[in-house]
Amino acid sequence: MLDVIINIIILIVSLIVVIKAADVFIENISLIGTALGVSQIVLGVTAAAIGTSLPEFGSALLAIINHSSHMGVGIVIGSNIWNVVGIFGITATITGCVKADKKSLNRDGLVAIITGVILIGVMILSAKFTNPLDLSKGEIGIISSNIPIIFGSLIMVFFYLYYFKVLIRDQKKSLDNFKKKSDKIIDNKQEIILSSSCNENNNINELEVKKEKLRSKNVILVILSISALAIACDFLIDSATELAHIMGIPETIMALFTLSIGTSIPELVVTLSSAMKGLYDLSLGTVFGSVTFNILIPIGLLSFYDPIHIETLSLYFDTPVMILSIVVAIVLFKLNNRELNRISGLFLIGLYIVYAYVRIFFLGGM
């Protein structure tokens, strides 16, 4: 009993440190980027796309390094399912409405679906070059670093780089369109708004001037935060693995639910607060962007480092559920004029509960 309590405390503390370290890292790396003259658009897209996903990435990375790759894959897939149905569901239920821009919904939603399909393709291709697919076995086998997995990993990484490039391009277009609209003054009301915007821009410029000097403090905080992130993720994975062994819970189940939900807290906070402030593009981009990053970068990059074990259910059940959840969320948005209301939110939460119940109590660690 004492071992359980100690490991639960370590898991909770590690999770808090992971989330805080990721926040400090992104904040200070952005300041360093500004000081080095990196475009604010690039920094903004980077922070939005990668920042909230660092806890999942760090946890998946340490799991694979510790040769618990099935747990790492479970964190990625479980986090993505929770991000879409859990976070969207909670946000829509609390706020009453989550809106989606047509372009963002079509672009980010479609990319998230394609990413899931690529993951299944890589799993199947890799499995064909290892052990035969057998649902009666707990594992498919090892995805070894052979030509098929290297090819699949390259597709994942290059696809994300292309998507990242598209995000930056669209961000620049949006900024240019905003500037053009700001130049068209129709009445006094718009003049007041424009005047206010100019003052805000001046304040931003002044702030950027103050940040132009590279400060050693920011560099030190980046080094400390990334070190803390690595150490805390190591403790997080170790404590979760130990708890799974003590309590007789399959490691994949621990990863799919406990770790995936815990490491997704930043996405929940950003999505909920953004929706409450009316920043719907940010809330939508945070969820779908996180789904895309979580799959393409951790699994794509780390496949080069170490052979990856994948459980049969991750391929046959969890990943299809992940893709289905994305499709369902997009359909709900489109059916209600690109909005999620409370009914839709409750439906998504119910969908997650059904998935969790079936996965834990019916399928378990098959």
With H, G, I as helix, E, B as strand and everything else as coil, classify residue 2.
helix
Identify whether 229 is part of a domain.
no
pLDDT for 61 equals 76
pLDDT at 128 > cutoff 90: no
Collect all residues with Cβ–Cβ distance below 8 Å to 298 and sequence separation of at least 6: 56, 57, 60, 61, 64, 72, 76
Does 139 have pLDDT greater than 60?
no
Is 349 part of a structural domain of the chain?
A: yes
**Per-residue pLDDT at 8 exceeds 80:** yes
Tell me the pLDDT tens digit for each residue of 226-271.
888 878 888 888 888 888 888 888 888 888 888 888 888 887 887 7
Q: Of 17-26, 62-71, 342-351, where does mean pLDDT reach its minimum?
A: 62-71
Q: Is residue 38 in a domain?
A: no
Q: Is 67 left (phi over 0), alpha (psi -120 to 50) or beta?
A: left
The model carries a pTM of 0.80
In a domain, 31, yes or no: no
Q: Report residue 57 as tokens.
A: 């990435």
**Mean pLDDT value across the chain:** 77
pLDDT tens track for 297-346? 877 777 666 656 677 888 889 999 999 999 999 999 999 888 889 999 99
**pLDDT tens figures, 271-287:** 787 777 776 666 677 78
Confirm if 115 and 291 have CB atoms less than 8 A apart.
yes
Residue 144, classed as helix, strand or coil, is coil
Query: Are 312 and 132 spatial neighbours (Cβ–Cβ below 8 Å)?
Result: no
Nearest CA-CA partner of 248 in 133, 360, 106: 360
For residue 168, give its domain range.
69-210+250-363
Total domains in the chain come to 1
Pairing of strands 308-311, 139-143: antiparallel
Residue that is written with structure tokens 């939603």 in the block: 109
| Res. 148: pLDDT tops 80 | no
17, 225 Cβ separation under 8 angstroms:
no
Quote the pLDDT of residue 350.
95
Residue 309 pairs in a beta bridge with 142
Among the listed residues 76, 101, 121, 83, the one whose alpha carbon sits nearest the alpha carbon of residue 329:
83
Contact between 256 and 13 under an 8 Å Cβ cutoff? The reply is no
181-218 tens-digit pLDDT:
665 545 555 544 444 444 444 444 444 444 457 788 88
**Gyration radius (Cα) of the chain, Å:** 21
Tell me how far apart the alpha carbons of residues 193 and 327 are, in angstroms, rounded to a whole number. 39
Q: Report yes or no on 102 lying in a domain.
A: yes
Residue with tokens 């000081």: 35
- The domain that holds 165 is classified in CATH as 1.20.1420.30
Cα distance between residue 69 and residue 140, in whole Å:
13
DSSP code at position 52: G
CA 16, 232, 240, 7 torsion-angle sign = negative
Residue environment code for 207-221, b if the CB has 16+ CB neighbours within 10 A, otherwise e: eeeebeeeeeebeeb
Residues β-bridged to residue 98: 340
In the numeric block, which tokens belong to residue 124? 């199947």
